[in-house]
């Protein structure tokens, strides 16, 4: 599994926590987590693939504080759906 780092990222935070630390938006984090939890298990991305997708989003120039500037989605929500894809073809 790749190591995902954003500029200024704290060492002790997971990818998702770091996205929201930088965004500073707790309500958005809670809403997104509820949406991810609402995805049926069979449609949810496996842990390894999910991390890989977020690695790619984290290194992407179109990523800004958890949002994809290409499509406007929350990257961690999009990445959590097994059948989803990156609008720029990164994953
Ligand atoms: S979904 Fe694709 S274009 Fe959007 S931030 Fe992630 S890698 Fe970049």
pLDDT tens digits, one per residue of 33-82: 888 899 999 999 999 999 999 999 989 999 887 889 998 888 989 999 99
pTM of the model: 0.73
- Per-residue pLDDT tens digits for 4-18: 445 454 455 556 666
**Dihedral in degrees, nearest 10, Cα atoms 76, 61, 64, 44:** -10
- Does the residue 60 lie in any domain? yes
73 lines ligand 1 (CB under 6 A): no
Atom of ligand 1 nearest to the CA of 89: 2
- Domain total in the chain: 1
- Does the residue 73 lie in any domain? yes
Q: Are 82 and 36 in contact (CB under 8 A)?
A: no
Say how many Å lie between the CA of residue 51 and the centre of ligand 1: 13
54 lines ligand 1 (CB under 6 A): no
- Does the residue 23 lie in any domain? yes
67 lines ligand 1 (CB under 6 A): no
Range of the domain at 30: 15-79
Question: What confidence score (pLDDT) does residue 90 get?
Answer: 97
Question: What confidence score (pLDDT) does residue 16 get?
Answer: 63
């Amino acid at each position: 599994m790749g190591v995902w780092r954003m500029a200024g990222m704290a060492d002790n935070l997971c990818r998702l926590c770091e996205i929201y630390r930088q965004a500073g938006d707790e309500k958005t984090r809670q809403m997104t987590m509820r949406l991810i939890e609402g995805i049926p298990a069979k449609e949810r991305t496996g842990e390894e693939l999910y991390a890989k997708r977020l690695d790619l989003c984290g290194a992407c120039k179109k990523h800004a504080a958890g949002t994809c500037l290409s499509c406007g989605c929350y990257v961690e929500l999009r990445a959590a759906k097994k059948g989803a894809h990156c609008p720029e073809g990164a994953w």
